[in-house]
Amino acid sequence: MLEALSSQIKSKQISAPKFPFLNLFLFIFIFIFLMNSFFLIVQAQNTFIYAGCSQEKYQPNSPYQTNLNSLLSSIASSSSQSLYNSFAIGNDTSAAFGLYQCREDLKLRDCTTCISNIINQIELLCPYTDGATLQLDGCFIRYEERDFLGKMDTSLRYKKCSNSDNNDVEFVRRRDDVLADLQGAMSFRVSATGAVEGYAQCLGDLGAGAGSDCSSCLADAVMKVKSLCGSAAAGEVYLGQCYVRYWEAGYYDHASPDSSNQDEAGKTVAIIVGVVAGIALVIVLLSLCKKSLCK
């Protein structure tokens, strides 16, 4: 009798429903979570700061383009071994000169990622230009048709000041202390005093030490950030071969009218990259849907 009852129970058991898209949805969720985490990690070092493109352009397939492509390839390769390097490719009028630098607190793998990103962006922003400069938060690249390597350049390339001011005497004192400390950097330095933080860096082709080109460049940058940003809660100044940044702890809402063009350029690059990534994701998902339906 028990065997008959057991048989009846088994016959009434309902097989568990199958959800062909469950694994797909789970994959999508995990994929989006991981990609979001990744972008949060790399977002800071890849934040667009400014770009500059020369008016002169080269002809496609010209000797200069060949040398420039070799230069960019050398920069990409070198970034896995060093945070700074400079190159001169070619020996005639079509020679290409360039350098790159990553922030000194980055690891080599992060430097390589930043440089790869910056090369992709510079090709979008400055197509076929004889010279270009692009600064991201974590790295910098510059190339020209003329030899600029090792030549002093303290011209103002970019400045940005927060919309908010802080006229508190204590804040101004602490900010000045941080800037004075940064001015003495040998190449790269991070400084903090109370609620004010900052960092500064010189290009690798500038000499270090008191009275050096690096010290002179930073002194000029500190003077400019004080005069241009006044009592702003955050400010940054980028010269040809060095930069200085400071901010009040917990605040980094930089904005100024004169930087709108650079911000729009950064947004354009972000949109292009986002669209390409979105298309790639759609293709992957459609492929997975097709496989699920075929099962």
| pLDDT for residue 50 | 96
Query: Which residues share a beta bridge with 15?
Result: none
Q: What residue spans define the domains of the chain?
A: 50-149, 156-248
| pLDDT for residue 286 | 60
* Secondary structure of residue 249 in the 3-state scheme: coil
Asked if residues 213 and 240 have their Cβ atoms less than 8 Å apart, the reply is: no
Minimal CA–CA distance to 149: which of 201, 89, 209, 66? 89
Query: Which residues share a beta bridge with 232?
Result: 165
pLDDT in tens, the chain (295 residues): 545 545 554 544 444 445 455 555 555 544 444 444 444 444 566 899 999 999 999 999 999 999 999 999 999 999 999 999 999 999 888 999 999 999 999 999 999 999 999 999 998 999 999 999 999 999 999 999 999 998 989 999 999 999 888 889 999 999 999 999 999 998 999 999 999 999 999 999 886 555 578 999 999 999 999 999 999 999 999 999 999 999 998 755 444 434 434 444 444 444 444 444 455 555 655 665 555 555 5
* Secondary structure of residue 97 in the 3-state scheme: strand
Q: Residue 250 phi/psi, 5° resolution?
A: 85, 0
Minimal CA–CA distance to 101: which of 136, 126, 52, 69? 136
Domains 50-149 and 156-248 share a fold: yes
* Secondary structure of residue 26 in the 3-state scheme: helix
| pLDDT for residue 81 | 97
| pLDDT for residue 292 | 55
pTM (predicted TM-score): 0.72
Asked if residues 161 and 234 have their Cβ atoms less than 8 Å apart, the reply is: yes
Q: Which sign, positive or negative, has the C-alpha torsion 270, 244, 116, 31?
A: negative
Taking CB atoms within 8 Å and a gap of at least 24, the contacts of 164-171 are: 164/232, 164/233, 164/234, 164/251, 164/253, 165/230, 165/231, 165/232, 165/233, 166/231, 166/232, 166/233, 166/248, 167/231, 170/194, 171/195, 171/196, 171/231, 171/233, 171/248
Specify the CATH superfamily of domain 50-149. Answer: Gnk2 domain, C-X8-C-X2-C motif (3.30.430.20)
Residue 198 CB coordination number (10 Å): 23
| pLDDT for residue 263 | 42
CATH topology of domain 156-248: Killer Toxin P4; Chain A (3.30.430)
